Amino acid sequence: MAELSYRDAVARGIAQEMRRDPSLVMLGEDIAAAGGVFKTTVGLLDEFGPLRVRDTPISEQAILGAAMGAAMTGVPVIAEIMFSDFLAVCFDILANQMAKTRYMTAGQVTVPVVVRTANGGGSRFGAQHSQSVENWTMMIPGLKVVAPSNPVDVVGLMAAAVRDPDPVVFFEHKSLMARKAEIPEGELVDRLGTARVVRPGRDCTIVAVALMVERALQAADELAGDGIEAEVIDVRSLVPLDARTILDSVVKTGRLYTVEENPRLCGWGAEIASIAADEVFWDLDGPVVRIATPHIPLPAADALEDETIPSVARIYETIRRTADQ
């Protein structure tokens, strides 16, 4: 076992796959000698060299365009878009080209690209560098979407994403970069499309991803002091979605809460709420409750940002208030 931070786990996951597959390359801004703006690629240039770890111009369209072209010719690519907000700059390539090519060629051409990007708020970067945009990508048919909440999942899900023949958007949360965990030695390979029950409970189900998993767990500990045992599910993979794990939990607890950092309007929790209403409506003891960020640009001011993103206190208070209704 070795204790690694979330950011170091990113580098370990990439290195594991680059050692396994000598054709795998990386593209992105400042990922080589600088080790990435969030220090998630430190050491990769030294081990794999400049032909496989390549700095690019400041052009998201160029990064994904080159990645897609290479992947179509059989060279798998990990491409970094520095901030997830910048996916808007290259969205045509991501949504209309990468996501559609396998379908439009009847499976003759695959696009094995992992688009890594730093996502989420909490770092006081303001409205253009703090968004949580999982919902932007999960709505596009042909893309797979993952958002790990801890260092172990970073390594395992990175391997699963790299080995998948389709484009995968891999969200790395900025506010989790310093979090540490013990990671087993040897190769770690996880599976896309699998959620995980990270805290068992009997009274309600809390569903979350990335930073919100940590906050949901803290809120669940506080709720336990009030006699409310919350089951917490780390979704991990939004596309494909492990609806079965979520629905089985809701059948058991009768209550469903989603904790979402993305804005409430068209957030990923709305899809889960819809699935629950379709599949387990008669097992619900009350309405699905979504705890989300308001539909506003994220503020840069400390107090305002903290007020906007779901906090442990807001999760606790919302569930405490509604659990018996």
User: Could you give the 3-state DSSP secondary structure of residue 283?
Assistant: helix
Q: How far apart are CA 269 and CA 315, in angstroms?
A: 14
Q: How far apart are CA 264 and CA 135, in angstroms?
A: 10
Amino acid at site 230: A
Beta strands in 131-255 (DSSP E): 144-146, 168-173, 180-183, 196-199, 204-208, 230-234, 237-239
Domain boundaries 196-322, CATH class: alpha beta
Choose, from 129, 173, 255, 290, the residue flagged as catalytic: 129
> Is-catalytic flag, 129?
yes
Q: How confident is the model at residue 1 (pLDDT cuts 50, 70, 90)?
A: confident
Q: How far apart are CA 247 and CA 254, in angstroms?
A: 10
**Can you give the pTM of this predicted structure?**
0.97
The residue among 243, 260, 323 whose CA lies nearest residue 286 is: 323
Give the pLDDT confidence score for residue 325 in this predicted structure: 65
Give the pLDDT confidence score for residue 18 in this predicted structure: 98
φ, ψ at 259 (rounded to 5°): -115, 110
What are the residue boundaries of the structural domains of the chain, listed by start?
A: 2-183, 196-322
Given a cut of 90, whether residue 324 has pLDDT beyond it is no
φ, ψ at 69 (rounded to 5°): -60, -45
Q: How far apart are CA 151 and CA 7, in angstroms?
A: 8
What CATH number has the domain spanning 2-183?
3.40.50.970
56-75 pLDDT, tens digit per residue, is: 999 999 999 999 999 999 99
Answer yes or no: same fold for 2-183 and 196-322.
yes
- Maximum CA extent, the chain: 60
